[in-house]
Structure 1
Amino acid sequence: MTDAPAGAAHAVPARCTPAPAADALAGLRILVPRDGEGAVRAEAAIAARGAVPVRLPLITAVPPRDPAALDAAVARWAAGHYDWLVVTSAAGASAIAGAGARAGVGRGIAAVGPATAAALAAHGLTAALTPTSEFTGAALGAELVERLATATPSARVLLAVAAAAGDDVERALRDAGHRVDRVTAYRTVPAPRDPAGEREVAAHGVAAVLVTSGSVARELAARFDAGPAGALTVAIGPPSAAVLVELGRPADVVASHHTIPGMLDALAAHLTAHPQTTPPRTTGDHA
């Protein structure tokens, strides 16, 4: 499966074994608002449930305004200057790899969750720590602090994050007495508009939209005044749900397991508990 051009809305044919008919998601169109490898993984997870992924990128990751600062920070990590490198997204994993992070150099890498760890692995990098339950910055910060309490009481940590990322990890580490250098690994910006793709979504509808970040929530509100019409909004976790509330568009579903499969499980559970909210199903592409 290849990436679509930014802004290209299309229904992606299932390339996985269809889910059993009993799956509450079977036949539903689900909007994927990202591009790149994250979108590919989301599409595969959706297709595996027998649903139809519809890609319409709302945001995209671009290089930082000062790429030299990222290159220099990664070089310091590779030289052993830092005890840990913290990565909080798949886009961040790609960014540090592009800046020169390689296997066999540097010290530990901490990832916010399995998707980020998988993105690191795709570049030959291994996450030595991921949270055991919640895949959030707060959980990662707490578990890294716990790990450092016995091994490195005063550690030096490099935090490679999006320009607009929160400070949960940073605050947890600083409050515990550790030294943190924060570097911008990438910026999240609105994806190019695709009026035809947006019209396709408006005309044929989607059952649900996967809101995987606050940035997605904001761009969704900017592009669709009250929609997509009839679609359930699924937030990946409390931070994204909080942004939706701020925008006056509370999430219909909030995942307790902060991954794409967790979002799909939460959506399926919601539809099973509230069958009257299930949108019409489809058996083919509309694109």
Structure 2
Amino acid sequence: MTADAKPLSGLRVLVPRGGTWGDMVAKALREQGASPVIAPLVDFAHTSEEDKLIAALKALEAGEFQWITATSSTVVDVLAHHNAVIPPTTQVAVVGEATEAAFKDAGYPVSRTPNDDNNTTEGLLEVWPEIDTGEVLRVLTLRSDVAKPVLTQGLINRGHDVTQVVAFRTVGVPVSVHTREDVESGRINALLVASPKIAREVAQQFPDIPEDTIVACVGPFTHGEAVSAGLRHNPDHADSSVKRALIETVESAIDQSDMLD
């Protein structure tokens, strides 16, 4: 490697999500010399609780909630889709770097986030002083259909008045024929697998991955799901410095909490 070469030079990396998440990951990959190809394998569909969601958003706009929580940047898209506005009297608590960025980009101040050393839903509960004063708070929690209601349950266990709504569903999205051909031919030579749902989509949509293609799973849970789904990993890549650099680049740009479905 020359003095000015970067660790991911020569890699065309499939980035499996779009939006704020995809933009942040793609930027980090470019900085390390990779060529990212944003090709979402998952998208977000209307909730099965649409009536409940609409009623909750009307109550939100009316100022009935003191706090709103989110663990996905997609919540901002849901608010925009329904032309819903968070009033200035309602504070925002979020988990995840991409989630925080999306709220701030939409003009919503974020009052509470976890510390960097424990950027999880449990971590948020630990650094949220208002929920431990004894006052009963009215909180709206919005999440995906596959997210575990850890934050919701933690607030309920503390005695707060929580309205929890499944705001959207996570669904698989077929990639374009061009992208599939680029993966099967090896022109895209690295696949980023950033969540269990994405692992299942990669296994299903790309059954003929070339042996030299790097399959980079972020986190042991995602890796386990990938193996269960039948996604093949080249054993020669297990200790690859390039694969390690790819995973480290993603982890430096995005919190683990942003890699949930």
Which TM class, normalised by the smaller chain length? Answer: 0.7 to 0.9
Structure 1's 49 and 234: CA in aligned 2 closer, same or farther, altered over 3 A?
Answer: same
Residue 168 of structure 1 pairs with residue 150 of structure 2: yes
Opposite residue 132 of structure 1, the aligned amino acid is: N
Report the alpha carbon displacement of residue 103 of structure 1 after superposing the two structures with TM. 5.2
**Secondary structure of 1:161's partner?**
strand
Q: Map of 1:1-287 to 2, 5 A cutoff?
A: 21-102=4-85, 104-133=87-116, 134-144=118-128, 146-150=129-133, 153-225=135-207, 227=209, 229=211, 230-235=213-218, 237=219, 239-244=221-226, 246-247=228-229, 261-262=253-254
Structure 1 distance, partners of 2:85, 2:150, is 26
Contact 2:98 2:254 in 1 (8 A): no
Report the alpha carbon displacement of residue 260 of structure 1 after superposing the two structures with TM. 6.2
Opposite residue 170 of structure 2, the aligned amino acid is: T
Identity of aligned residues (%): 29
Number of corresponding residues: 241
- Give the gaps of 5 or more residues in structure 1: 1-19, 264-287
Structure 1 distance, partners of 2:224, 2:159, is 29
Give the RMSD, CA atoms, in angstroms.
Answer: 3.1
Opposite residue 85 of structure 2, the aligned amino acid is: R
Moved more, 109-118 or 132-141: 132-141
Structure 1 distance, partners of 2:232, 2:132, is 38
Structure 1 distance, partners of 2:148, 2:232, is 20
Report the alpha carbon displacement of residue 228 of structure 1 after superposing the two structures with TM. 6.0
Q: Which has the higher contact order (CA 8 A, sep 6+)?
A: 2
Structure 1 distance, partners of 2:48, 2:153, is 24
Report the alpha carbon displacement of residue 226 of structure 1 after superposing the two structures with TM. 6.6
Opposite residue 169 of structure 1, the aligned amino acid is: L
Report the alpha carbon displacement of residue 56 of structure 1 after superposing the two structures with TM. 2.4
Report the alpha carbon displacement of residue 36 of structure 1 after superposing the two structures with TM. 3.5
Residues 95-116 of structure 1: CA distance to partner in whole angstroms, max 9, x if unpaired?
1233344354341111112211
Residues 197-240 of structure 1: CA distance to partner in whole angstroms, max 9, x if unpaired?
212112025443323322212211222337464313231x4553
Normalized against structure 2, the TM-score is what? 0.77
Normalized against structure 1, the TM-score is what? 0.71
Opposite residue 28 of structure 1, the aligned amino acid is: L
Structure 1's 258 and 181: CA in aligned 2 closer, same or farther, altered over 3 A?
Answer: farther
- Give the gaps of 5 or more residues in structure 2: 239-243, 256-261
Contact 1:135 1:258 in 2 (8 A): no
Structure 1's 262 and 78: CA in aligned 2 closer, same or farther, altered over 3 A?
Answer: closer
**Secondary structure of 1:222's partner?**
helix
Residues 177-208 of structure 1: CA distance to partner in whole angstroms, max 9, x if unpaired?
32322112221111134233212112025443
Contact 1:157 1:179 in 2 (8 A): yes
Structure 1's 184 and 103: CA in aligned 2 closer, same or farther, altered over 3 A?
Answer: closer
Contact 1:88 1:111 in 2 (8 A): yes
Residues 263-287 of structure 1: CA distance to partner in whole angstroms, max 9, x if unpaired?
8xxxxxxxxxxxxxxxxxxxxxxxx
Opposite residue 122 of structure 2, the aligned amino acid is: A
Contact 1:241 1:250 in 2 (8 A): no
Structure 1's 256 and 127: CA in aligned 2 closer, same or farther, altered over 3 A?
Answer: farther
